[in-house]
Structure 1
Amino acid sequence: MAKRFEIGDHVTWNSEAGRVSGTIIAVHTRDFDYKGHTHRATEDDPQYEIKSDKTDHVAAHRGGALEPA
């Protein structure tokens, strides 16, 4: 089972630029549109929007891609 996180949790993940850290700003449990693409999410497999600490860039990832910071 994938890790579960909540809004406000501080996490890290790998990106093409290397290891990034940020704060979860939204938890999606239903399909949602993000940057022109439909992202699949369910109650059992949510996706998280995370705001980068350094760049304020927002990314969407599943719990399996995230680690507690």
Structure 2
Amino acid sequence: MAKKKLSKGDDVVWRSHGQDVEGTVTGKIEQRTQRDGRTVDASENEPQYEVRSDKTGRKAVHRPESLDRKKNRGRS
């Protein structure tokens, strides 16, 4: 299965606490690091993405399989 390729600025949606959350990719993480007191076990082969919620402005880190590109409704 092909891995999702996301870029900074992509509009995405993910599930959190049983609800869809819309937001924007703010960066790609390709090495083990700390974010908000948690260890992000990312690598070049298994990257993770930092996203910002449109509603709250809070940031989170997710694996690419947890994120879907948001469909542009009403646009050609």
Partner residue in 1 for 2:17: 16
Q: Which has the higher strand share?
A: 1
Segments of structure 1 that go 5 or more residues without pairing to the other structure are none
Partner residue in 2 for 1:39: 40
Partner residue in 1 for 2:5: 4
Segments of structure 2 that go 5 or more residues without pairing to the other structure are 71-76
Deviation at 1:40, TM superposition (A): 0.5
CA RMSD of aligned residues (A): 1.1
Between 1 and 2, higher relative CO (CA 8 Å, sep ≥ 6) is seen in 1
TM-score, normalised by the number of residues in structure 2: 0.84
TM-score, normalised by the number of residues in structure 1: 0.92
Aligned residues: 69
**Does the 8 Å contact 1:2/1:45 carry over to 2?**
no
Partner residue in 1 for 2:52: 51
In percent, how many aligned pairs have the same letter? 36
Q: Secondary structure at the match of 2:49?
A: strand
- Detail structure 1 runs of 4+ shifted over 3 Å in the superposition: none
